């Protein structure tokens, strides 16, 4: 059986104003083969109107259909329902999420508009606002989550504590090559985060403090040539220290 999507549900409820509006947090791993998700499959007794907000996107892996020498925005895609859409852009390592989605009984499917890419894989965190007929009590995810490809090779290995990612998180390509190695503290990216290309070449080294870029960021091309070195302070780009094209010529 093909594993197309893995979902960990981290539930919590809040009372908003005088209406009993519940909030459920969904952490979704979007596999490269997945372009649509029906939230009716994941919300107990889906009934009524819901607002869906994308809170964060992490551990992104993608391949563009066309190679771009100077890539200002490495991420640029939309997540749609029949009623509304969310736009996701990441330019110079700064992530921008615009909009929210409305869902109801007749419009429960969200789709990923990724026409610029051969594929996109990522971990997405959504908040869903609405009235839920069933609320699971005290669901806490602790321990180690492992998932595997159909060929038996490991796909991912995530550590959870009190329903949040904590410690080292790893993901692999289907050829056993390590794809990412991220570090979390209480659900937030902290410290050095590394990514590799499928061929084993290092792709990036990025430093985070509580989900915010801080420090030196390095990116490489798939041939091993350094792409750029940038310095960030509390999420703001301070300066580009080095910048090269794929052949190593300074830009």
Same domain? 121 vs 159 = no
Q: 136 in a domain, yes or no? A: no
Same domain? 169 vs 85 = no
Q: 65 in a domain, yes or no? A: yes
Same domain? 216 vs 148 = yes
pLDDT-based confidence at residue 17 (cuts at 50, 70, 90): very low
Rounded CA separation 196/174 (Å): 13
Q: 178 in a domain, yes or no? A: yes
Same domain? 154 vs 213 = yes
pLDDT for the residue 132: 67
Same domain? 150 vs 237 = yes
Q: Which of 130, 156, 174 is the last residue of a domain?
A: 130
Please give the average per-residue pLDDT across 144-169, as a whole number: 81
* Domain region containing 114: 5-130
Number of domains in the chain: 2
What pLDDT digit, counting tens, does each position of 45-61 carry? 677 788 898 988 887 88
Q: 138 in a domain, yes or no? A: no
pTM above 0.95, yes or no: no
Q: What is the CATH number of the domain that holds 179?
A: 3.90.930.1
pLDDT for the residue 143: 76
Same domain? 66 vs 169 = no
What pLDDT digit, counting tens, does each position of 215-238 carry? 999 999 999 999 999 999 988 889
């Amino acid at each position: 059986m093909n594993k197309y999507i893995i979902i960990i549900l981290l539930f919590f409820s809040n009372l908003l104003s005088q209406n009993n509006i519940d909030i459920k947090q969904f952490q979704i791993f979007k596999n490269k083969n997945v372009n649509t998700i029906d939230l009716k499959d994941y919300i107990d007794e889906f009934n009524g109107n819901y607002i869906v907000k994308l809170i964060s996107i992490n551990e992104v892996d993608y391949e563009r259909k066309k190679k771009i020498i100077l890539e200002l925005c490495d991420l640029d895609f939309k997540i749609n329902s029949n009623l509304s859409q969310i736009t996701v852009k990441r330019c110079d390592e700064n992530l921008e999420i615009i909009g929210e989605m409305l869902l109801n009984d007749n419009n429960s499917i969200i789709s990923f508009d990724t026409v610029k890419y051969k594929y996109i894989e990522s971990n997405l965190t959504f908040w869903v606002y609405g009235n839920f007929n069933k609320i699971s009590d005290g669901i806490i995810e602790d321990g180690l989550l492992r998932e595997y490809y159909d060929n038996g090779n490991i796909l991912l290995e995530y550590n959870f504590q009190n329903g949040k990612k904590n410690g080292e998180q790893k993901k692999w390509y289907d050829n056993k090559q390590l794809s990412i190695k991220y570090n979390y503290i209480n659900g937030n990216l902290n410290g050095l985060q590394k990514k590799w290309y499928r061929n084993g070449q290092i792709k990036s080294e990025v430093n985070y403090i509580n989900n915010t870029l801080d420090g030196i960021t390095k990116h490489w091309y798939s041939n091993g040539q350094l792409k750029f070195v940038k310095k960030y302070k509390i999420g703001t780009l301070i300066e580009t220290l080095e910048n090269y094209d794929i052949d190593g010529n300074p830009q």
